[in-house]
């Protein structure tokens, strides 16, 4: 079964040799790297929305060194447990805001190794990020799309994942099947505390709130805490470029980041599981 829908008319997309087409004749070619572009130009707020090349490269180079592997490993275990408890032949797993595909591709490989047969799809609004993901991993279905207008059939997802990405609960509720799992990761109070201490005069803890969402019931929280050692300025700069602090950094903040030669800091992440009711 194909779960993708036409972003123009909403009809189901069917795969041809090098494209996807809907019954009304709208056609979407696969890029050379293998992804689909399902974000119509009239829904793009800029020429290249989402992460730019610098951000994509920083995240890719940082994550490939394994600093956030504990988060990825916990996510894989949570999803495997979910699929074991709610067994369905060939479940559909959607990662919304997948970026350059680190968590998505590691999850797909983990499930394949465990002989848990599934269809894994990653979507992100950044064409540059999705292109990088598609070049690196050929076993995931990749698409450029907005999380606020997903080209995905109603009630088709068994598991929906959002890793540190913007969430649109209305869309998540629409595409998840009844009893489907919403799994997302958020930073906790002490995440990257030592980095904050190094670059801010008055560092502050992240705000932590427990949210209830209409149509969902909260089930589990999995804490991931780990200390990482960054041995060089390149890794520190790449980490900083992945954070929200980067976008509002002052000249002084950027100077302090650039002056750091090595850093030990804490990863403090919560992986939350909600059930659609």
Residue with the larger pLDDT of the pair 161 and 44? 161
Q: Quote the pLDDT of residue 189.
A: 93
pLDDT band, residue 88 (cuts 50/70/90):
low
Does the pLDDT value for residue 52 go beyond 80? yes
pTM of the model: 0.94
Q: What is the model's pLDDT at position 268?
A: 97
Helices (H) and strands (E) in the chain, counts: 8, 11
**Euclidean distance between CA atoms 189 and 204, whole angstroms:** 9
Query: Which pLDDT score is estimated for 230?
Result: 98
Checking if the pLDDT of 176 tops 70, the result is yes
Strands (E), 115-231: 119-124, 141-144, 157-163, 176-187, 216-230
> For 13-24, how does the pLDDT look when each residue is reduced to its tens digit (9 = 90+)?
999 889 999 999
Helix (H) or strand (E) holding 110: helix 102-113
Alpha carbons 260 and 251: distance in angstroms, whole number? 15
247 vs 116, residue with greater confidence: 116
Residue 84's pLDDT band (boundaries 50, 70, 90)?
Answer: confident
DSSP conformation letters of 112-124 = HHTT---EEEEEE
Q: 201-237, pLDDT tens digit by residue?
A: 988 888 877 788 999 999 999 999 999 999 999 999 9
- Can you give the pLDDT at residue 47? 72
pLDDT in tens, 18-41: 999 999 999 999 999 999 999 988
Q: How confident is the model at residue 1 (pLDDT cuts 50, 70, 90)?
A: low
User: For 127-175, how does the pLDDT look when each residue is reduced to its tens digit (9 = 90+)?
Assistant: 999 999 999 999 999 999 999 999 999 999 999 999 999 899 999 999 9
Could you confirm whether domain 14-276 is CATH 3.40.50.150? Answer: yes
Q: What are phi and psi of 93, to 5 degrees?
A: -115, 125
Q: What is the residue extent of each domain of the chain?
A: 14-276
Residues 264-269, mean pLDDT to the nearest whole number: 97
> How high is the mean pLDDT of the chain?
93
């Amino acid at each position: 079964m194909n779960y993708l829908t036409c972003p123009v008319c909403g009809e189901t997309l069917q795969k041809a040799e090098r494209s996807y087409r809907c019954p009304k004749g709208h056609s979407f070619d696969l890029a050379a790297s293998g992804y689909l572009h399902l974000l119509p130009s009239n829904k793009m707020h800029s020429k290249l929305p989402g992460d730019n090349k610098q951000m994509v490269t920083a995240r890719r180079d940082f994550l490939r060194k394994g600093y956030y592997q504990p988060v990825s490993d916990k996510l894989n275990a949570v999803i495997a447990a979910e699929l074991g408890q709610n067994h369905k032949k060939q479940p559909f797993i959607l990662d919304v805001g997948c970026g350059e595909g680190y968590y998505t591709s590691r999850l797909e490989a983990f499930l394949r190794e465990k002989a848990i047969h599934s269809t894994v799809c990653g979507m992100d609004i950044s064409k540059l990020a999705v292109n990088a993901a598609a070049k690196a991993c050929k076993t995931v279905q990749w698409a450029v799309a907005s999380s606020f207008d997903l080209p995905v059939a109603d009630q088709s997802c068994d598991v929906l994942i959002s890793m540190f990405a913007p969430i649109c609960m209305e869309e998540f509720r629409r595409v998840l099947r009844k009893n489907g799992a919403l799994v997302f990761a958020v930073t906790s109070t002490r995440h990257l505390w030592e980095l904050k201490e190094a670059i801010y005069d008055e560092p502050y803890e992240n705000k932590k709130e427990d949210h209830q969402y209409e149509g969902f019931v909260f089930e589990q929280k999995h804490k991931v805490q780990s200390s990482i050692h960054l041995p060089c300025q390149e890794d520190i700069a790449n980490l900083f470029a992945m954070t929200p602090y980067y976008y509002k950094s002052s000249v002084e903040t950027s100077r302090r980041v650039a002056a750091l030669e090595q850093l030990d800091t804490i990863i403090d992440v919560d992986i939350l599981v909600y059930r659609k009711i």
